[in-house]
Amino acid sequence: MKICIVAEGCYPYVMGGVSSWIDSMIKSFPNIEFCILTIISDREQSGKFLYTLPENVTEVYEAYLNDFDWSKKRKYGKRTKLNKKEYSALRSVILNQQVEWDVLFDMFQNKKISVDDLLMGADFLKIVQECYDMKYSQIVFSDFLWTVRSIYLPLFLVMQTKLPKADFYHCVATGYAGLLGSMAKYMYGSGLLVSEHGIYTREREEEIIKAFWVAGIYKNIWIEQFRKMSRLAYERADKVTSLYAHAKELQIELGCPEGRIMVTPNGINMERFADLPGKTTEEKDWINIGAVLRVTPIKDVKTMIRAFAYAKEEVPNIKLWIMGPTEEDEEYAQECFDLVESMQISDVIFTGRVDVRQYLGRMDFTILTSISEGMPLTILESYAAKKPVIATDVGNCKGLIYGESDNFGAAGILTHIMNVSEITQAIVKLAKSPELRYEMGEVGYKRVEKSYRIEQMKETYKGIYQELGSLYGSNWTEEKFEIKRS
């Protein structure tokens, strides 16, 4: 019995979030053999793991979105030639008309194709010209051509990836990961499970809309590319999971058959957050605010810093602890450091990567100002430590703060994204009211204990793995799915 985890831009190269979830899932099923198929930007990242791989991970395979054309073995002037079936399939994906994915899979997996030659060849040029005449003739053709080449370069490179053989594939996103899982299902007749922690297509849309490097109508072309890959994964998957009810609604809206979707909330090990060290004597007069996050634009740390600065004018004895790595986007991290300095804000501490259990017990409440989330584990961890949360209204933060299946009450304060004034007011409100912090902390603890324990999540995935194992698994036995208790 072998399961292949397919991930993009996370495990085992990035700490926290989805990566932590993958690591926990693998360790939960020690009798199952796992391999990892991980998608990264290029070979410079190769092998730079931040996780020690569990013993039941036997292999790690890498796919690259940008790579040298290893298939390029041609004489000068000779181009990759497509047959009629292949040409039709290439046309279908570029024009986004009933995409003939299986033909493309066969072409890139079984035929020695130079991606460079294909992108620079007459067939690709002819199809792009047709697409341009149909939809985009109002823009400059040369710009359009090079944009389309840049869009299809990573897609074609990923489709040339050597696929490890497994009984079923667990893709931890749609997008390129879902594409690889769909291709593996076609090539090997294996099972396919897709788990979305955030809605991949929506997250890419948000990034592209904000991106300065994509101008005007080209944003729509990029978004269309991500949509078609996600539709493929939804169509081919045996089962699709989402973290909360609204995410399921978005998946249906984006083309996923409703009957395939199962809502599977995240869970945490509450025992890890019992008996945490509390405040030191020196800290007893301070209000400590914790932010457990990667210092990246999607976490909108700048808004958090500005709101903290304004709140500090009203409540001078507050201190902000930003706990998480700063090396993922060093340019953005430096902008955050510079903002603290230029605004002359005192008592902002960037700890870097730490064991949050050494800090969380010392916090009075935590804060998350992200512009995109799924179901943040940091909120669940705060609740397990009986700490209330300020969070922006993204992903399932509203459900976590106010409850979806209980009437316990509010476990924190919800704000709109990038709203400095609202976030400032929320900080001031919690900082001034120890009684409210205590009450909300107790509500959060009861909520995570009732609905978001790791034991519940593991049992859910045990059932899914057993179902797919019985359909596709080799050497399938019930014993293989025995859960390792935390």
Q: Residues 48, 52, 54, CA angle at the centre, nearest 5°? A: 130
Report whether 233 contacts 171 (CB < 8 A). Answer: yes
Domain encompassing residue 197: 2-68+160-266+456-481
Domain count, the chain: 3
> Are 303 and 387 members of one domain?
yes
Report whether 259 contacts 234 (CB < 8 A). Answer: no
* Residue pLDDT, tens place only, 242-270: 999 999 999 999 999 999 999 999 999 99
Q: Is the pLDDT of residue 10 over 70?
A: yes
Q: Is the pLDDT of residue 77 over 60?
A: no
Instruction: Find, among 65, 3, 417, the residue nearest to 195 by Cα.
Output: 3
* Residue pLDDT, tens place only, 193-225: 999 998 999 989 888 887 777 778 889 899 999
Q: Would you call 242 helix, strand, or coil by DSSP?
A: strand
> Are 214 and 282 members of one domain?
no
75 found inside a domain: no
Give residue 275's pLDDT band: very low, low, confident or very high (50, 70, 90). very high
Last residue of a domain, one of 94, 118, 152: 152
* Residue pLDDT, tens place only, 101-126: 999 999 999 998 899 999 999 999 99
> Are 395 and 278 members of one domain?
yes
Average pLDDT, the chain: 93
Give residue 75's pLDDT band: very low, low, confident or very high (50, 70, 90). very low
> Are 304 and 409 members of one domain?
yes
> Are 128 and 23 members of one domain?
no
Last residue of a domain, one of 152, 175, 194: 152
Rounded Cα gap, residues 62 and 64, in angstroms: 7
Kindly tell me the burial class for residue 112, based on how many C-beta atoms sit within 10 Å of its own C-beta (0-12, 13-18, 19 or more): exposed
> Are 39 and 113 members of one domain?
no
Last residue of a domain, one of 113, 130, 152: 152
Which residues partner with 289 through β-bridges? 320, 365
> Are 463 and 447 members of one domain?
no
> Are 299 and 397 members of one domain?
yes
Rounded Cα gap, residues 177 and 174, in angstroms: 6
Which strand ranges, in their side-by-side order, compose the sheet holding 318-323?
A: 348-352, 318-323, 287-292, 365-368, 389-392, 412-415
> Are 193 and 239 members of one domain?
yes
Q: Residues 114, 116, 121, CA angle at the centre, nearest 5°? A: 95
74 found inside a domain: no
CATH number at 401 reads 3.40.50.2000
The owner of tokens 């009798």 is: 31
> Are 256 and 362 members of one domain?
no
454-458 long-range contacts (CB < 8 A, ≥24 apart) are 454/24, 454/267, 454/268, 454/269, 454/270, 454/486, 455/267, 455/485, 455/486, 456/265, 456/267, 457/264, 457/265, 457/266, 457/267, 458/28, 458/267, 458/483
